[in-house]
Amino acid sequence: MSYRYLPMTDADQEDMLATIGVENKEELFEDVNGTIRLQRPLNLQPALTEMELVKEFEQLAAKNTTMKTTPSFLGAGVYHHFIPSVVSHVTSRSEFYTAYTPYQPEMSQGELQAIFEFQTMVCELTGMEIANSSMYDGHTALAEAAVMACGQYKMKRQKLLISAGVHPEARDVVKTQAKGPGLTVEEVAVTSGATNEEALKQVLNEEVAAVIVQYPNFFGTIEDLRQLKEQAEQAGAMFIVKSNPLALGMLTPPGEFGADIVVGDTQPFGIAAQYGGPHCGYFATTKKLMRKVPGRLVGQTVDEDGRRGFVLTLQAREQHIRRDKATSNICSNQALNALASSVAMAALGKQGVKEMAYQSLQKAHYAKRKLQEAGCKLPYEGPVFHEFVVELGQPVKKVNELLFEKGFIGGFDLGQIDASRNEEMLVCVTEMRTKEEIDAFAEAIGGILS
């Protein structure tokens, strides 16, 4: 069998082994001895040529229903948006995607500058002073933010209050992360789709390191950040906001409400759903907290001749220097996806990002009216961006099966997070859905409900 990725010929091998001074390659493995040496071939599927491989993958791909061919009303943290074709043209440049972390700045100015631009764009959207080069995803970025907040109080405050309006999986990730340092995580109830400010007041005290909310929250509601921040501040706790960056194209940024840390996922910009990953977490905060930030930061500097250039900076925070004194272990991040998001944001531009947010807002509200006309109940009155909850009066699971038969991917079944809410559907509408699709979707639901 020949392998197109392996250039060593028999003659090469003979030459090289002679240079090394061994008779055969086995001698190089003599220290891998006894019982631990694998005495049989690995039991794997047979190797495929490129031709066979493509066929195999096309068959696997064909078993999946895609949002490209079946209009989707799913959101709940992953959004189907338009991706300009330039995005994949840029990320397919192999100088970017076959490089690693820019440890050698003189030969990595392209990546470093692209990240510096990404950091700037995240600051613009969130209204924050600094941003890092990316995190794995929005949820783990939130978990890092939560731990960082406790660290800021030197672990004298070890309690985190997290709104039940934060994505349920993000809440779970925060709870898992909190087990390491032994932090307490308490949930604050949501009433009528928004964080219950009275409930928050009840549990806020000087043990609380941070109040964590999502904006717009998991149920679509635009939380009242001013009130929530005020409460957090009164208790001397930090205010952490998880936010969809596209919404911030239109909404007042959390920075303006005094958020201490803003995190989220830039997936809406240029990153496909990909069954949930890889996406791209962002992490933005204040200058005051700059030296506590997890992950990589790119800074501007000059070279010996005074020419502008970029480097990885403030590395004394990171695991490779601090080892067991580090407060985060993140190393690899999501650089290529940060690049994809940068390209998407640059292509859409100042006007386009706003327009995409505006269209999503308008179409979601149009859909909301249409679904109401079709017999859905709207349990909440608070303002929403591009997602909202509807009550169907019958199990969403069943409705979604019928919708699928009619050619739609229905919204998120809230029964998945709370069995008692199995008749509530979280509907998302982006600029990708046409009026025709929305009308047909509402009609289909109307038909099912009647």
Partner 1 sequence: MREQEHTLIFEESAPGRRGSVLPDLDVEETPVSELIPSEFIREKAPDLPEVSELQLMRHYTSLSTRNYGVDSGFYPLGSCTMKYNPKINEEVAKLDGLTNIHPYQPEEQVQGAMRLMYDLQTSLAEITGMEEVTLQSAAGAQGEWTGLMLIRAYHEANGDTNRTKVIVPDSAHGTNPASAVVAGFETVTVKTDERGLVDLEHLKEVTGEDTAALMLTNPNTLGLFEEDIVEMAEIIHEAGGKLYYDGANSNAILGIARPGDMGFDVVHLNLHKTFTGPHGGGGPGSGPVGVKADLVPFLPKPLLAKTENGYTWDYDRPQAIGRIKPFYGNFGINVRAYSYIRTMGAEGLKRVSELAVINANYLMKRLEPYYEAPYERYCKHEFVLSGKRQKKLGARTLDIAKRLLDYGYHPPTIYFPMNVDECMMIEPTETESKETLDAFAEAMIAIAKEVEKDPEIVQEAPHTTPVARLDETTAARKPVLKYENPDHEKEPARL
276-295 footprint of partner 1 as x/- string (CB under 8 A): xxxxx-----xxx-x-----
| Three-state DSSP state, 356 | helix
Nearer to partner 1, 13 or 202 (CB): 13
Cβ of residue 261: shortest distance to partner 1, in angstroms? 13
- What is d(CA 195, CA 221) in angstroms, rounded to the nearest whole number? 9
Nearer to partner 1, 202 or 372 (CB): 372
Our CA dihedral for 381, 383, 388, 393, rounded to 10 degrees, sits at: 0
In this chain, which stretch among 117-125, 149-157, 158-166, 200-208 interacts with partner 1, using CB under 8 A? Answer: 117-125
In this chain, which stretch among 77-85, 149-157, 189-197, 387-395 interacts with partner 1, using CB under 8 A? Answer: 77-85
246-265 footprint of partner 1 as x/- string (CB under 8 A): --xxxxxx-x--x-------
29 touches partner 1 (CB under 8 A): yes
6 touches partner 1 (CB under 8 A): yes
32 touches partner 1 (CB under 8 A): yes
- What is d(CA 377, CA 391) in angstroms, rounded to the nearest whole number? 5
Nearer to partner 1, 58 or 198 (CB): 58
In this chain, which stretch among 120-128, 149-157, 188-196, 200-208 interacts with partner 1, using CB under 8 A? Answer: 120-128
Nearer to partner 1, 119 or 231 (CB): 119
Cβ of residue 339: shortest distance to partner 1, in angstroms? 7
- What is d(CA 370, CA 440) in angstroms, rounded to the nearest whole number? 10
- What is d(CA 39, CA 244) in angstroms, rounded to the nearest whole number? 52
153, 158, 169, 402: residue in contact with partner 1 (rule CB under 8 A): 169
Residue 274 identity (one-letter amino acid)? Q
Instruction: List the interface residues with partner 1, window 307-326 (CB under 8 A).
Output: 307-311, 313-316, 318-326
User: Of 126, 225, 180, 164, which Cα lies nearest the Cα of 328?
Assistant: 180
Nearer to partner 1, 188 or 347 (CB): 347
Quick count: other Cβ atoms within 10 Å of Cβ 407?
14
Cβ of residue 443: shortest distance to partner 1, in angstroms? 15
71 touches partner 1 (CB under 8 A): no
What is the DSSP track for 150-192? Answer: HHHTTTS--EEEEETTS-HHHHHHHHHHHHTTT-EEEEE-EET
44 touches partner 1 (CB under 8 A): yes
- What is d(CA 151, CA 327) in angstroms, rounded to the nearest whole number? 8
Nearer to partner 1, 69 or 450 (CB): 69
Instruction: List the interface residues with partner 1, window 206-235 (CB under 8 A).
Output: 222, 225-226
User: Of 109, 2, 114, which Cα lies nearest the Cα of 49?
Assistant: 2
- What is d(CA 270, CA 340) in angstroms, rounded to the nearest whole number? 5
Q: Provide the CB-side half-sphere exposure for 310 (13 A, CA).
A: 18
Cβ of residue 197: shortest distance to partner 1, in angstroms? 15
328-357 footprint of partner 1 as x/- string (CB under 8 A): xxxxxxxxxx-x---x-xxxxxxxxxxxx-
155, 192, 377, 404: residue in contact with partner 1 (rule CB under 8 A): 404
402 touches partner 1 (CB under 8 A): no
419 touches partner 1 (CB under 8 A): no
125 touches partner 1 (CB under 8 A): yes
What is the DSSP track for 77-129? Answer: T-------HHHHHHHT-HHHHT--S--SGGG-HHHHHHHHHHHHHHHHHHT-S
Nearer to partner 1, 59 or 205 (CB): 59
- What is d(CA 90, CA 175) in angstroms, rounded to the nearest whole number? 37
Cβ of residue 50: shortest distance to partner 1, in angstroms? 5
Sheet holding 412-413: strands in order across? 387-391, 424-428, 412-413
